[in-house]
Amino acid sequence: MASTLITSMSQLVTCDGTDDDGLGIRPDAALIVEDERIAWIGARSAAPAADTQVDVDGRCVLPAFVDSHTHLIFAGDRSAEFTARMSGQAYDGGGIDVTVAATREASDDELRELLQLRLTRARVQGSATIEIKSGYGLDIDTEARMLRLAREVTDETTFLGAHVVPANTDRRDYLDEVTGPMLAACAPHARWVDVFCEPNSPHAFTEDESREVLQAGRAAGLDLRVHGNQLGYGPGVQLACELGAASVDHCTYLSQRDIDALADCKDQTTATFLPGVEFSTHEPYPDARRLIDAGASVALASDCNPGTCYSSAMPFMIQLAVRELKMTIAEAVLAATVGGARALRRDDIGRIAVGRRAHVAVLDAPSIEHLAYQIGMPLVSGLTP
């Protein structure tokens, strides 16, 4: 079993919750990685010998990001939709059909190649764990194909047949398909089921429809996630809490009742902010402060997708969280690491502690503040494994 000693860090940001802000920063620390796990953490001066040594030369080391919400597998181009939105057009989910048509046309190898390129771009920005949803197939074969291909690169795969009702399709017929044969074909390749619960979009799903999709997914052995409260006030948050979903994502429009519900169910449901979406759609940013101050569990993710946010850059999401969501740097970093892990119900990632996975990012900066301070800079200079 080969061991690697990582040493000469300016800061080891463990995110282990041991200090006031939760970042658990250790100066003058070293760590040893053995067999893809953290085997030892301690003072640099007390570090035992290891097979190899990596000297990070005064850089900052932190847990790799956990991007708990992406739509990384798709084909086609919707840049024109983005351009139109920047001159005032609103987002309503209608463009999803454009991606669906292109994704159905693409071969497995074409989708694999697109996915690999996007994964590389996510990794160079520090993400080691990446959830990937289907939802651009919306027929049995393409949904199952998307999930099969996504499974080749991550265990965190999510069935999102209930993304929108495809064009020229009867709602009831489509729901029967999603909760019946499509679910049966997709469940073997998925860990999660998700639904775009959004009565403010004519293309997405109502509360009752969403409940039906989630309950069917659960009966097929999948755990639950929800796209909720993205385009206006709505039932997504309440439904996620009622059904014990692991995460409700977007949370752009939250009523006091939603905030109370999320605070009450913080041990099972994480509210995931996706501020790249507000950046790319001109929706207002969510009131993260109120939710955090109420005690809810929060995560930050990229939502990388062709419609509302074509970015997998977690450092940029942290910068938006600090600048626009008024989160402290510590809150934003924790939301992008342990928060993402909680949103995926994983306790083996998101923090640097003995026994956890050695998913570690090296920042070309002397302290964690630089992650928010140096905007858009390529600071991640290394990622293990």
Ligand X SMILES: N=CN[C@@H](CCC(=O)O)C(=O)O
Q: What gap in Å lies between CA 331 and CA 367, rounded to an integer?
A: 15
How many Cα neighbours within 13 Å face the side chain of 367?
Answer: 7
Give the residue with the Cβ less far from ligand X, 50 or 174. 174
The size of the chain, in residues, is 385
Cβ at position 196, least distance to ligand X in Å: 5
Query: Which one of 303, 311, 312, 320 is in contact with Zn ion (CB under 5 A)?
Result: 303
Q: Which of 230, 247, 252, 297 contacts ligand X by CB under 6 A?
A: 230
Ligand-binding site membership of 250 (annotated): no
Residue 161 annotated in ligand binding: no
Q: Which helix (H) or strand (E) holds 18?
A: none
Report the site for ligand X in 284-323 (rule: CB under 6 A): 303, 305-308
Site string for Zn ion, 159-198 (x = CB under 5 A): ----------------------------------------
Q: Strands (DSSP E) along 64-109, which ranges? A: 65-67
Please identify, using beta-carbon distances, which residue of 143 and 303 lies nearer to Zn ion.
Answer: 303
Per-residue x/- marks for Zn ion, 251-290, CB under 5 A? ----------------------------------------
**CA–CA gap between residue 283 and residue 272 (Å, rounded):** 16
On whether 230 is known to bind a ligand per the annotation, the reply is yes
Is 305 annotated in a binding site? The answer is yes
Task: Report how far apart, in Å, the C-alpha atoms of 346 and of each of 272, 336, 351 are.
Answer: 15, 13, 11
Give CA–CA dist 69/249, Å, rounded. 8
Q: Which of 59, 118, 145, 227 binds ligand X (CB under 6 A)?
A: 227
Return binding residues for Zn(2+): 69, 71, 227, 303
The residue ranges that bind ligand X (CB under 6 A) are 71, 93, 95-96, 99, 196, 227, 230, 277, 303, 305-308
Return binding residues: 69, 71, 78, 136, 163, 227, 230, 303, 305, 307-308
